[in-house]
Structure 1
Amino acid sequence: MNSVELKTYDRLIEKSKEAFVLAIELYNRPSIKYRVEGFSFFICNAWELMLKAKLIKDRGIDAVYYKDNKERTITLERCIALVFTNDKDPLRRNLEDIIRLRNTSTHFIVEEYEQIYVGLFQSCVTNFDDKMFTFHSVRMSDAIPPNFLTLSMSASPAKPDVIRAKYPPEIAERFLFDEAEIEQEQILLESQRYSCLMVTQLAVVKNPKDADFSVAIDKDSDKRVRMASVFRDPKSTHPLSASKVIEHVNKRLNKEGVRLMAGGAVKSFTTNDWKLFLNFYDIKSNEKYAYRHELANTSNYTYSMGVLDFICEGIKDNTTGIIDRLKEEVKKKK
């Protein structure tokens, strides 16, 4: 890049980061009712600026202008098509649906839209964080604390008869149509890059060591509770295959600048390393990390997002020696 392109590139990246932070702060602020529209405006702006920076870096500054009008820059839709050329890519479909929401007349946006778009919003945030690092080596965790990258939403799903009773026919039918369309996309794509939810669940465990926090039972309380068993959908609680665990561990270590070493040399996290963690910590026996699927006489396992935290934290605590130590410990076990 020449000096003009470099200056423009840096300015676009900084503005993109600011638009992203504004989207997150606006959405997670409980006092604001305009957060669905506001989030969609700012997150689209963040993506547009970030993708234009990539086009300038890869193709030069002329790539972000219309050929027949050098005073107008191309649209976000055009940027997406140029960078993400596969029109069936879940990430691209996610962005296109959020753009459609942004372009919708505000007369058709109601509070309940949050319930059908929050999964798309969460994936959009995660995708942006990932691509900002992949394309530009920028960690959004340097601009905003990592825990703020999880969007906050507590609303309950609205029933069709409630929507029809609450809003005029044209608004109600538009909402129900959009809801059905997004649900269909989620079924067809079945990808966390299109839609995902970060769910907080409370469960009672017998061993305090397995708990994130503890509570006390008060026999004098006038409030009664009872224990209930809740069905857990393994697609939501344990969505990762072994190969995906390895892929995500490497991505996270790379993003956080962690250099894993073994035998005195820098290395990536491999299948053999995964097997060391699996065997030494007996991960398959821990329901928090592993789920066993049984079909006829065969079985296989999928894993939770928590196993990524467990492995990455273990590596960060001993980047230069953990693999060598696990090899020795597993040999002793054998």
Structure 2
Amino acid sequence: MVKQDKRIIVLSFFRDKERKKLSFTYAEAALATGNKVNYIQKLVSESLKGKYIFQDKRPNWYCKGLLAISDNDFIRITSQSTQAKILTDDEKLYYKLIKRSLNAFTVALEVYNRPSLENRVEAFAIMMTNAWELLLKSQILKAKGFDSLIDQDGKSIPLSEAVNFKYPNDSADKDNLNQLISLRNDAIHLLLPEIQPQLSRLFQTTVLLYQEEFAHQEGYAPLADQNVGMLSLVIDGPEPDIALVKEEYGKKTASQVNEFLKKFKKLEQKHNSNRFAIHIEYKLALTKKPGSEDLTFGTGPDGKHTVFVDRPKNLKITHPFYETTAIKEINERQADCIINNYSFRAVVKKHKIKNKAEYFDLTDRPRYSVAFIEWFIERLKQPNWLQKALPNNMKKNK
């Protein structure tokens, strides 16, 4: 049995303190990790002080940034000898691949969580696939060396080969990733807002699988604690009406969407697992008021895997108004002035409403929330508020 480096035990202690936002003393660290106080003091002062470990009120210290580095990085940072810090070419490339994979993962989540971005579903699929490709190829590099990443023509091996290396056998995990790749390849035809409820369940599993794989490989979670809210991707919604898709996008696209949905259902039935796509079932609600759920839980068909969905989005409730109905609602609820399309759009533009998820959503089409209507009406009570939002030529015509 390989003996664990005692620095990893110390790192686990530091990470736990950082995660819980607690300070510690050298004596506490030594006692918890089975080391001498002098060892902890030397480790901190020579390698970590001022970078990851900081002085609080004497004799206390606190950690910052250790949740975002890998076990291997920590070993390199705290290595005493110069020789231990010299990396081979493969190791240098490995760390670059990991860094780029993490960046792609973060960008994928950021664009998905921007409701004003019209092609966010397409952008997510592209960046998430890139994150997986870099992560899987880093595993091949580590296991088999650089030459294993290059094919006979001198080109990088295809992603499908990397997937087969990681998942040699049929599995829910493998089919989830293959579906993501398929969507990336057919993005123009399949990544439509109309099927985002189905896509979001597939994407949610993809993100969770990446989190799991990255943490297992690198020893730390790929997102800092303050960003975990970005991990919730699931939205609820009905299956798309293929006839409407055909009318909106054409016969060929509708046919491909229909085929995708059939394959999606078939694979979902085959695996019957949240490791292919998250299941949404509303079984339990913690409420402050009846009918006003704050948190919703569900389980997959196997009854074993619990899924937590943070405030699932029912757009008919959260963002029920289109532009026309929003204008009508505003005019019906106040009599100070008449809002038309031009003044409405001027307000939306000036106050950057489309960048505010609580007021605007573009999942299927531009929608506005009840909160936005109330905000609009309340602002109308302010002197000259509407006038200030209007372009100069419109002000002159008023």
Whole-angstrom CA distance in 1 between matches of 2:157 and 2:183: 19
Partner of 1:83: 166
* Structure 1 residue 109: Cα displacement: 3.9
Check conservation: 1:118, 1:197, Cα contact below 8 A: no
Cα 1:107–1:90 change in 2 (3 A) is closer
Cα 1:194–1:202 change in 2 (3 A) is closer
Whole-angstrom CA distance in 1 between matches of 2:225 and 2:133: 18
2:215 is aligned with what amino acid?
Answer: F
Whole-angstrom CA distance in 1 between matches of 2:88 and 2:264: 44
Q: Aligned match of 1:3 in 74, 84, 88?
A: 88
Check conservation: 1:28, 1:152, Cα contact below 8 A: no
Check conservation: 2:246, 2:254, Cα contact below 8 A: yes
Check conservation: 1:238, 1:305, Cα contact below 8 A: no
Partner of 1:173: 255
Check conservation: 2:195, 2:239, Cα contact below 8 A: no
Whole-angstrom CA distance in 2 between matches of 1:44 and 1:92: 13
SS of the residue corresponding to residue 102 of structure 1 reads helix
Matched, 1:134 2:216: yes
Partner of 1:26: 111
Cα 1:201–1:166 change in 2 (3 A) is farther
SS of the residue corresponding to residue 193 of structure 2 reads coil
SS of the residue corresponding to residue 187 of structure 1 reads helix
Cα 1:195–1:18 change in 2 (3 A) is same
Whole-angstrom CA distance in 1 between matches of 2:125 and 2:243: 27
Matched, 1:112 2:194: yes
**Which runs of structure 2 are paired with 1:284-303 in the superposition (5 Å)?**
none
Whole-angstrom CA distance in 2 between matches of 1:143 and 1:38: 24
* Structure 1 residue 157: Cα displacement: 2.8
Q: Aligned match of 2:125 in 40, 48, 56?
A: 40
Cα deviation digits, residues 239-268 of structure 1 (max 9, x gap): 32xxx7xxxxxxxxxxxxxxxxxxxxxxxx
* Structure 1 residue 199: Cα displacement: 6.8
2:108 is aligned with what amino acid?
Answer: A
**Which runs of structure 2 are paired with 1:1-334 in the superposition (5 Å)?**
3-66=88-151, 68-70=152-154, 72-86=155-169, 88-104=170-186, 106-107=188-189, 109-142=191-224, 145-197=227-279, 203=285, 211=286, 214-215=288-289, 235-236=299-300, 239-240=303-304, 304=306
> 38-47 vs 2-11, which deviates more?
2-11
Check conservation: 1:16, 1:46, Cα contact below 8 A: yes
Cα 1:237–1:188 change in 2 (3 A) is closer
* Structure 1 residue 142: Cα displacement: 2.8
Whose radius of gyration is greater, 1 or 2?
2
SS of the residue corresponding to residue 73 of structure 1 reads coil
2:165 is aligned with what amino acid?
Answer: L
State the TM-score, normalizing by the size of structure 2: 0.50
Cα deviation digits, residues 182-227 of structure 1 (max 9, x gap): 0111011111111004678884xxxxxxx46x35x9xxxxxxxxx7
* Structure 1 residue 172: Cα displacement: 1.1
Cα deviation digits, residues 161-180 of structure 1 (max 9, x gap): 33333331111111111111
Structure 1 residues without counterparts, runs of 5 or longer = 204-210, 218-226, 245-303, 307-334
Cα 1:80–1:109 change in 2 (3 A) is same
Whole-angstrom CA distance in 1 between matches of 2:273 and 2:240: 24
Cα deviation digits, residues 264-301 of structure 1 (max 9, x gap): xxxxxxxxxxxxxxxxxxxxxxxxxxxxxxxxxxxxxx
Check conservation: 2:280, 2:299, Cα contact below 8 A: no
* Structure 1 residue 135: Cα displacement: 2.1
Whole-angstrom CA distance in 1 between matches of 2:114 and 2:199: 17
Whole-angstrom CA distance in 2 between matches of 1:119 and 1:108: 15
Cα 1:56–1:38 change in 2 (3 A) is same
Check conservation: 1:41, 1:102, Cα contact below 8 A: yes
* Structure 1 residue 236: Cα displacement: 3.5
Check conservation: 2:98, 2:134, Cα contact below 8 A: yes
Cα deviation digits, residues 59-94 of structure 1 (max 9, x gap): 11111111x233x211111101112111x1111111
Structure 2 residues without counterparts, runs of 5 or longer = 1-85, 309-398
Whole-angstrom CA distance in 2 between matches of 1:96 and 1:39: 15
Whole-angstrom CA distance in 2 between matches of 1:73 and 1:109: 27
2:241 is aligned with what amino acid?
Answer: K
Partner of 1:317: none
Cα deviation digits, residues 288-319 of structure 1 (max 9, x gap): xxxxxxxxxxxxxxxx457xxxxxxxxxxxxx
